[in-house]
Structure 1
């Protein structure tokens, strides 16, 4: 018993340090990103900031397209594979993502430019930055459980680029310096991380093996991209809809959306830990861990929602430079969305992905979008930010209900097989 207890304590401490390491990356990026918002508003005004936010939202979809699902299935592959297989996986990911980066960036920047009602160039540059996030190597570090390597090689360069942009803006440059600095930091992080992966796998004895053709790569990984792209599109599409149907409320909606996303990002390490914990072992064990993950996610979601409700007014006042105000109803809806987004992330990435049910994710989000997006447009036009956020909440809630039913059916099938086998 003492030996088991000692082993459990060691594993517990190790898990805590990993969580702390991944949390540090999230906190550093969140703080620097938040610091850039008032700098952009002060440099060029709230309309320019709204254009940058629009471009970043559209570029987020582009970034997921460039990432091509490696953020969903990549960690499990890295965790299970040898040095040679890890090296091949990373090289193939670069091969696929690099081929997509230029055309996807061009499309995202063009769409952002055309949708922006003011300062379209700012929107295009915002799209450039967030599309480049698809080149991230963080999935490799998650799979190899190296949070502090990720912090050193990718997070800190990205933060430095953001702070450079903030410094330039306070020295008199326009808000475009913000996303340009962020892009420079992302590019540096990509180079440093890729160099380290090549060195690390070679050190561990990776053999030189030819990679698959681009056509085969894109085809074999299509399921991951459909789920990832559908998920992020639902999150990013509302700001584009609001920009078209109700441009007057777009800055307020953009600020509410940004605060919501930044608060949610602070919970990212918990999703990451569960993403690596649930899939381990046989199916029966995965069911127990999936149930535990959903219960803990439900409790954490409630706490996260209340924390958002308490912190949002202060964040909005600071980030909006006292130029943008949000009503109490908007804050309540933001809080509900933060809670639901966290729960859905655990459900999709940690639970459904563990049972190879990613196909239902795309279907659920499609149904939620068909129902929710028209409500976003109508609500924004008729009721402003409250109406738009209500549409987002409606569609996302429907998606979560569908995904929960899918998990319940899958769990029932596994238990029935177990009974038949015995």
Structure 2
């Protein structure tokens, strides 16, 4: 059944983005140095937060809404989403740029470039294509531009000239924007309207009304983004000796999580499509997928984490086996949290509980982050954020169990 959602292009895109993104890290470190790369990584972290704000909850409930909507309702969803996100993108990105000026003392241009490479993703239409089971459109408008941009950026960054370096950074920024533009045209065409219709005024879909409708979904995304962004900023700002290693692990985790996102997000459309009698079965399948991803991440990190992280750092940091194990657990729990929250809890109508447990887990993890990091280094910091993710996952499982008992 899941294969009918065209997993082939999603898995192919996942592999291409993961490989190209990981190869970009050592290339950039060798081109600009570890401190400049750290500024770029912080910029990408802020950009990820900006992307979630720009997406404004469409990534949480969007696929489920599209999957259940008629053609007319899908047209309204597409146009409303474009109108809202175009309106808030500039203020969000400008605010992100100002935040970076406060967070970074040097290499600010690189930091802003890093922010834009991730921040522009919030304008994409992946959520819509997942809802209509169009995996190839996800590949063409998201995975392919990102991976091609990474590859071309790597080739240009290896050239020993300022022009090639500037061109490489421009490619990294413009590639996702080109994918977004293609996605807008493809989505509007699929619902039988022109892109310019998104500029038309609609009293029923004013910006204020759209902001109000998405408040529950965006609160969940906002909390998740805070928990994604804050650890690297807190540890890097503390001046802890383990900061370079933690930033490296955080960067690798974000790249891998981003690459796995299409496979996790496809369940957002598949689970809600179930009839009432089949919903429990699909929720169970999604939960099983979450368990497999989590255990697989931990096993792979335990086996290959140390050499992989040392290679990513271009030999600039030393990685212990405990750090590699915690990194794998952190990634695995993050994958499980995305699957359980955005597919299972949204499908059973528990968005408010999703927001609650997301906040509780984030509060616990962030409260313990700095003390654990100062006491036990990178392993302690990773343990703290893993605990926060674990609380979220356990909370989601409790909500699912309670729903099953009531049903």
Q: TM-score, normalised by structure 2?
A: 0.90
Gap change, CA 1:266 and 1:307, over 3 Å in 2: farther
Q: Distance in 2 between matches of 1:44 and 1:167?
A: 14
| Structure 2 residue aligned with 1:198 | 188
Number of residues of Structure 1 aligned to a counterpart in Structure 2 = 400
| Structure 1 residue aligned with 2:63 | 75
Are residue 271 (structure 1) and residue 264 (structure 2) matched?
A: yes
| Structure 2 residue aligned with 1:92 | 80
Tell me how far 1:404 sits from its aligned partner: 2.2
Are residue 35 (structure 1) and residue 23 (structure 2) matched?
A: yes
Q: Which moved more, 1:112-121 or 1:364-373?
A: 112-121
Q: Which secondary structure does the structure 2 equivalent of 1:384 belong to?
A: helix
2:104 to 107, 116, 123: 116
Kept after mapping to 2: 8 A contact 1:66/1:104:
yes
Q: Distance in 2 between matches of 1:400 and 1:76?
A: 21
Q: Distance in 1 between matches of 2:390 and 2:161?
A: 42
Q: Distance in 2 between matches of 1:140 and 1:47?
A: 38
Tell me how far 1:59 sits from its aligned partner: 1.5
Structure 2 stretches of 5 or more lacking a match?
none
Q: Distance in 1 between matches of 2:139 and 2:285?
A: 29
Tell me how far 1:231 sits from its aligned partner: 1.6
Are residue 188 (structure 1) and residue 178 (structure 2) matched?
A: yes
Q: Which moved more, 1:93-102 or 1:209-218?
A: 209-218
Q: Distance in 2 between matches of 1:103 and 1:45?
A: 31
Q: Deviations over 1:179-210 (max 9, x none)?
A: 54222001111111111222222289xx9996
Query: Which structure 2 residues correspond to residues 204-283 of structure 1 after superposition, within 5 A?
Result: 211=202, 212-246=205-239, 248-283=241-276
Are residue 401 (structure 1) and residue 401 (structure 2) matched?
A: no
Query: Which structure 2 residues correspond to residues 18-417 of structure 1 after superposition, within 5 A?
Result: 18-172=6-160, 180-202=170-192, 211=202, 212-246=205-239, 248-413=241-406, 415=407
Q: Distance in 2 between matches of 1:129 and 1:247?
A: 27
Q: Which moved more, 1:347-356 or 1:337-346?
A: 337-346
Structure 1 stretches of 5 or more lacking a match?
1-10, 416-422
| Structure 2 residue aligned with 1:3 | none
Q: Which moved more, 1:177-186 or 1:61-70?
A: 177-186
Gap change, CA 1:127 and 1:300, over 3 Å in 2: closer
Q: Which moved more, 1:147-156 or 1:30-39?
A: 147-156
| Structure 2 residue aligned with 1:7 | none
Q: Which secondary structure does the structure 2 equivalent of 1:379 belong to?
A: helix
Q: Which structure: larger Rg?
A: 1
Q: Which secondary structure does the structure 1 equivalent of 2:191 belong to?
A: helix
Tell me how far 1:333 sits from its aligned partner: 0.1
Q: Deviations over 1:336-370 (max 9, x none)?
A: 11221121112101110101212222222222222
